[in-house]
Amino acid sequence: MSEQIKWAVNHMPGTEDQNLPIMGLKEIGKARAFHESFPQYSKTPLTKLEHMAAYLGVKEVYVKDESYRFGLNAFKVLGGSFAMARYIASETGKDVSELPYSVLTSDELREEFGQATFFTATDGNHGRGVAWAANKLRQKAVVHMPKGTTQTRLENIRKEGAQVDIQELNYDDCVRLAAKEAAETPRGVIVQDTAWDGYEEIPSWIMQGYGTMAMEAGEQLNEQGCERPTHVFVQAGVGSLAGAVVGYFTNLYPDNPPTFVVVEADVAACLYKGAAAGDGKPRIVDGDMQTIMAGLACGEPNTISWDILKNHVKVFIAAPDWVAAKGMRMLAAPIKGDAPITSGESGAAPFGALAAMMTMEEYADLRNDIGLDENSKVLLFSTEGDTDPDRYKNIVWEGKER
């Protein structure tokens, strides 16, 4: 555990916050209604870890468990499926509310819209979600994966009927390849959960799709007697999920938003680097970005999310691999009386960070910067289960960190 957690308190200048309305409650209500139209839909659990909260020295800990999402073991399908629906809606001159699952999968729509090819780059979960949604909606999908991707993750995507390969490129270069191929293909569309100048509409739809998870969590907190979390921890790769969660809860609690904490893999901590620089400009990390947190190994921030995050996040954290491994083990074997959670490498990083700062004296300053104490009610998102079962067993059962 030689590598240390690094963090940056947000002192960046604010902006006009023009992207916050993307995650407005009405917009997210549309995404939620769309997902509810799927026969596979059910709310994923929000698990309250009562004994763990007492052990960590906070009042309440809640973990949203996305390993149950649509049988795909990860939350990502929420974004890709809604973006496809919004795209088909725009192409056919309809509102997305007119295109529930039953209409999207109908022969009538197939005749009206035909078939598009959706291109994407992925480390696993996003591509699997796009492939699954394309399969269900009778569209085509082409998926590129970065070097270092495991065969298990590739096969999970191939099973959904997509054309898929592993490239000798890092994640961000795979995104560029997918964008180039989509541009060269008749009816080719890039469905990527990162935004850059000139490519903002589809990523904003993907973020709205992620909002379904945040909306469910807000309702489930109320059902469990928590009117409002004091702290929300969320992990970030390009930052789309983080921007979606922070944006939604800022809109949900406009007068008294929670304290937001973003957790990244230290080798791909582009948002942390931007926050540490303090000028509000995005920073890019390149190279191979070797980390067990494959879902967070992205070095170029989503421009829409970055705008939301720099206005509303309190602290950005860069976490070494041991933090994710610690989170995975603690969630798998929590304190007796709490339900165990199967949380993958990227899913467990925020919980690992919370556990480290509450139990390790060297991170007392981090705890204080975030304002965590015995009155804190913390919400976290376990965004994936054991998406690579062998690697999960190696970390949780064998005590390895790779």
Catalytically annotated residues = 76, 123
Query: Which DSSP symbol is given to 147?
Result: T
Distance, in Å, from the CA atom of 324 to the CA atom of 78, rounded to the nearest integer, reads: 23
What residues contact 205, with CB distance under 8 A and at least 6 apart? Answer: 79, 82, 83, 86, 87
Among 346, 315, 306, 280, which Cα is nearest to 203's? 306
Helices (H), 278-388: 303-312, 321-332, 349-359, 364-370
Q: Strand pairing partners for 65?
A: 382
Distance, in Å, from the CA atom of 325 to the CA atom of 292, rounded to the nearest integer, reads: 9
Token pair belonging to 332: 């798998």
DSSP string, 2-66: -SPPEEEE--PPP---TTGGGG-HHHHHHHHHHHHTSTT--PPPEEE-HHHHHHHT-SEEEEEEG
Token pair belonging to 200: 């903002």
Q: Cβ(29)–Cβ(215) under 8 Å?
A: yes
Angle of CA points 379, 380, 386, to nearest 5°: 150
Residue 115 phi, psi dihedral angles, 5° rounding: -135, 135
Query: Which DSSP symbol is given to 217?
Result: H
What residues contact 375, with CB distance under 8 A and at least 6 apart? Answer: 58, 59, 230
Q: Strand pairing partners for 188?
A: 117
What residues contact 368, with CB distance under 8 A and at least 6 apart? Answer: none
